[in-house]
A and B are shown apart, each in its own frame.
Chain A
Amino acid sequence: MRHTISVLVENEFGVLSRVAGLFSGRGFNIDSLSVAPTIEESISRMTIVTRGDDQILEQITKQLNKLVDVIKVIDFIEESAVEREMALIKVTAEDADRAEVLRIVDIFRANVIDVTPKSYTIEATGSPSKIEAILELLRPLGLKELVRTGPVAIGRGAKGWKG
């Protein structure tokens, strides 16, 4: 099963490789990983998307918690979190296709951020499934390049983890 895990870590030298090394060393999967500082400068937040059965997920969260630089681990269950991902998509756009690309961009409330006579570069934001959907529609037109951030997630409701 797919899980999205937020990990609050000390913003220290080498912490990313400690986390990445834990996943590779113990044979856990990483689908995506994103990391950046939080409200508090000394704390970074990682969002990791991983897969595994309950026993593996239990090990992943426990092993993450065991790392000395890890402050908190939150395993989001689907409903309790909002997830967003951004994709930058360079797509071939010539002749009649130019209008079709713009229509798709419009439907998905994406933005064109760079234009050439032969291509558009699109910025799309949304849940991972929305990103999949726009890619699905753009693919027949010719994808030239794709960059995805991987999802970031935040819990629903008023409660917040400052760090």
Chain B
Amino acid sequence: MKLAGARILLECLKLEDVDTVFGYPGGTVINIYDELYSFPEIRHILPRHEQAAVHAADGYARASGKVGVAIATSGPGATNTVTGIATAYMDSIPLVVITGQVPTALIGNDAFQEVDIIGITRPCTKHNFLVKDVRELAGIVKKAFYIARTGRPGPVLIDLPKDVQIAVADFKYPEKIEMRSYRPTIEGHSRQVEKAATMLLGAKKPVIYVGGGVILGNASENLTKLAETLKTPVTTTLMGLGAFPEDDPLSLGLLGMHGTYYANMAVTNCDLLVAIGARFDDRVTGKIPAFAPHAKIIHLDVDPTSIRKNVRVDLPIVGDVHGVLEKLLKILEKRRDEVENFKTAVKPWLDEIDAWKAKHPMTFKESSQVIKPQSVIRKLRELCEPDAIVATDVGQHQMWTAQFFTFTRPRTLLSSGGLGTMGYGLPAAMGAQAAFPKRQVLAICGDGGFQMNLQEMATLVQSKLPVKICILNNQYLGMVRQWQELFFEKRYSQTVLDLPIDFVKLAEAFGATGFTVKKPEDVEETIRKGLATPGPVIMEFKVAREEKVLPMVPSGASLNEMVLAS
């Protein structure tokens, strides 16, 4: 039977088990939207901005592990998706973004709402496709999902001209896919894994450094087994939080610019660093020559370009982290006697780390006068459900969340790590809530980031997505203000958000519920009430305005040159 392109697209989505799409209609996607009536199994959520649609698809993907799907119209609809796509690209999040395009005959004519979105998104997608013939559509959708979710995941964009949506073709969804130009390395090289085991067992001061790849590769369980088998401490990047339970004594928490004292000291003094699904970002390494200066480095990653991009590596292993860790665990199983000797040999190292932990624990000064933002984060953890999902924006509140929330499960922190996109938190939380209607979803935002996508309050209410929003309001763009305080003689150029906004009224204007709290003693009560209130809720905490995120490694300094909390 012959079907129209718009129909074929939705049939493909159905066969890919897509249950939710986030999109915004417009002239060049009307046909797709019209066909939606025939697909009750696909839930469409209507964010109020295409950027939020892509962030929501991204939050959906991070929380669920499935491919997120977003739809936008041509021209401004398409350009509005770019920040969302770049955010997902930097953090390797699998998305398929579908944009409408002007009819093929008009492409290149500067037609109404025409933009070369293929050209624009080329550097921020894993791959993109312009569909020129309806007969290619099903194959392209199949490839798009395959590329998005395999190897190092990432966003894929399909640009679909209006006439291709109208044209008809026989529909057959390809069952298998074979691309001679795209064959990601999945199997880790066995001899390399064997060598890694030997290097590990020979180490006296090992540290495991974990990135988002462990979460994306569903390897948390194997990672935890590895750490427990070898009694080796684990530090994570922002993207890696939740891959290893932070309440485990072997956890060193976050490393890098705002990492813990003990994580940074451990990395600086270790003799073996095992990097797993991490990419040695500048926020993690600080000054490269002083990063892990005494260590041999093993780097396990699915993306060969990550290896030796920023730092020298002694033993590279390219492959799927889950499978490679599985192999490594099997080898260690066989070498049980050596493992026992190893555990005795690293005991002094663990004692050294414990001493660092005791000397400078992750802490802040409590106050009875003003609300300390860190205390709000700790209270949230205490009072929310153990499997709650937390989305953040970008800035101080993000770092406090990373430092003080204590993540224990994978896929419970959704945060823009690579691109650092303000305005990400609220729509990402929305996407996660759509994926898990029954779980508790929190959006932790600053007052700056919240205002970048606050229109999504409308979507939360309309689509009955009961996200609990916590705004740490300091009426500053706090992280920039912190840099201005430390490095620009407190010249707070344009970082003061001086207009006091009534967030309670704002919530009510959208039909949601709002709470505001000024006094430390009211924090707990407000969180309890907020979490218990049905539907979307804003909890505004007026926090200590000039609180800083500490410890801090100044940009370009080495990891052991930390400014510590007094």
Contacts and interface: CB of A to CB of B under 8 A. Distances in A.
Interface of A: 9-10, 13-14, 17-18, 21, 25, 55, 58-59, 62-63, 65-66, 68-71
A58 B313 CA distance: 13
Interface string B122-155: 1100110010100000000000000100000000
Interface stretch (B78-86, B217-225, B304-312): B304-312
Interface string B551-566: 0000000000000000
Given A66-B303, A68-B182, A17 B147 contact: no
A68 B308 contact: no
B118 interface: yes
Nearest to A58: B308
B305 A59 contact: yes
Given A68-B127, A70-B181, A62 B305 contact: yes
Nearest to B152: A66
Contact of B147 (A25, A68, A71): A68
Nearest to A10: B181
B123 A14 contact: no
Residue picked from B122, B126, B127, B181, most chain A C-beta under 10 Å? B181
A112 B304 CA distance: 49
Contact of A17 (B119, B132, B180, B308): B119
Contacts of B180: 71
A66 B118 CA distance: 18
Interface of A is mostly: helix
11 contacts: A9-B181, A10-B181, A17-B119, A21-B122, A21-B123, A25-B123, A58-B308, A65-B304, A68-B126, A68-B147, A71-B180
A55 B308 contact: yes
A13 B131 CA distance: 11
B309 A71 contact: no
Interface string B154-179: 00000000000000000000000001
Contacts, number: 37
Interface residues of B, number: 18
Nearest to B122: A21
A108 to B, nearest CB: 40
Interface of B: 118-119, 122-123, 126-127, 130, 132, 147, 179-182, 303-305, 308-309
A65 B110 CA distance: 34
A70 B182 CA distance: 8
A17 B122 CA distance: 9
B164 to A, nearest CB: 14
Contacts of B303: 66
Given A9-B181, A71-B181, A18 B305 contact: no
Contacts of A14: 118-119, 122, 130
Given A13-B130, A68-B181, A70-B181, A59 B309 contact: yes
A66 B305 contact: yes
A59 B307 CA distance: 9
A14 B130 CA distance: 10
B206 to A, nearest CB: 26
A62 B313 CA distance: 15
A128 to B, nearest CB: 29
A13 to B, nearest CB: 7
A17 B126 CA distance: 14
A70 B181 CA distance: 5
A126 B147 CA distance: 42
A22 B548 CA distance: 38
A55 B180 CA distance: 27
A69 B127 CA distance: 9
Contacts of B126: 68
Contacts of B182: 68
A18 B182 CA distance: 15
Given A14-B118, A59-B308, A66-B304, 17 more contacts: A9-B181, A10-B181, A13-B130, A14-B119, A17-B119, A17-B122, A18-B122, A21-B122, A21-B123, A55-B308, A59-B309, A62-B304, A65-B304, A68-B127, A68-B179, A68-B182, A70-B181
A69 B181 contact: yes
A59 B308 CA distance: 8
B4 to A, nearest CB: 23
Nearest to A72: B181
Contacts of A63: 305
B135 to A, nearest CB: 16
Nearest to A14: B118
Contacts of B305: 59, 62-63, 66
Contacts of A10: 181
Contacts of A59: 305, 308-309
B153 to A, nearest CB: 13
